[in-house]
């Protein structure tokens, strides 16, 4: 039994040379951004064999979560109130979605996430889903950092800096 898991089965460690589980941070002329690979599975499609619209929203959520994780702002840490801060979470305030082209089972897609705008407590993220260099979906997503009691909370200076803000 593992000392840390408390279960009877052995833990499976993720090798340190496997960095792509959470995607990759990229650096471009317009700042830091994130890329996450996704494969379309049967569960992502509807009766027509095309990707169900909600799957795109779910993949974008993964892209946003992993982008924040890689710049040092994990959801779990926010919710636990680490660093003496009040427990908080990012909540979606607004989404604008554009479905440009369909996708099908076994397609390999990339979810790209970029910071479009940032205020004291809000991030506007431009997200796109790309297949073989062609954009098939776009979203602008506004998220706000709020305490567990619902009060708006300012983004930390460290997070702003990691995302390219001041």
Q: Are strands 24-28 and 31-39 parallel, antiparallel or unpaired?
A: antiparallel
**pLDDT tier at 2, thresholds 50, 70, 90:** very low
Q: Is residue 114 part of a domain?
A: yes
Residue 148: CATH number of its domain = 3.10.129.10
Q: Is residue 3 part of a domain?
A: no
* Residues acting as catalytic residues: 46
Please write the tens of the pLDDT for every residue from 4-34. 444 454 455 555 555 578 999 998 887 889 9
Structural domain including 94 reads: 22-162
SS3 per-residue string spanning 81-92: CHHHCCCEEEEE
Task: Answer for the pair 38, 62: CB distance below 8 angstroms, yes or no.
Answer: yes
Please write the tens of the pLDDT for every residue from 64-118. 999 999 998 888 888 888 777 889 999 999 999 999 999 999 999 999 999 999 9
Angle at CA 106, nearest 5°, toward 44 and 43? 20
Q: Is residue 4 part of a domain?
A: no
Angle at CA 87, nearest 5°, toward 97 and 117? 35
């Amino acid at each position: 039994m593992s000392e840390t898991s408390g279960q009877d089965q052995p833990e499976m460690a993720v090798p340190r040379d496997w960095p792509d589980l959470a995607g990759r941070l990229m650096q471009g002329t317009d700042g830091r951004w994130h890329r996450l690979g996704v494969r379309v599975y049967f569960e992502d499609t509807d009766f027509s064999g095309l990707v169900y619209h909600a799957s795109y929203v779910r993949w974008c959520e993964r892209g946003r979560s992993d982008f924040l994780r890689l710049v040092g702002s994990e959801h779990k840490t926010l919710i636990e109130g680490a660093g003496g801060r009040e427990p908080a979470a990012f909540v979606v305030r607004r989404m604008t979605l554009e479905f440009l082209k369909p996708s099908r089972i076994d397609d390999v897609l990339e979810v790209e996430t970029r910071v479009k705008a940032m205020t004291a407590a809000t991030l506007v993220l431009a997200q796109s889903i790309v297949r073989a260099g062609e954009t098939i979906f776009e979203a602008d997503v506004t998220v706000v950092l709020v305490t567990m009691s619902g009060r708006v909370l300012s983004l930390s200076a460290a997070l702003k800096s990691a995302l390219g803000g001041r």
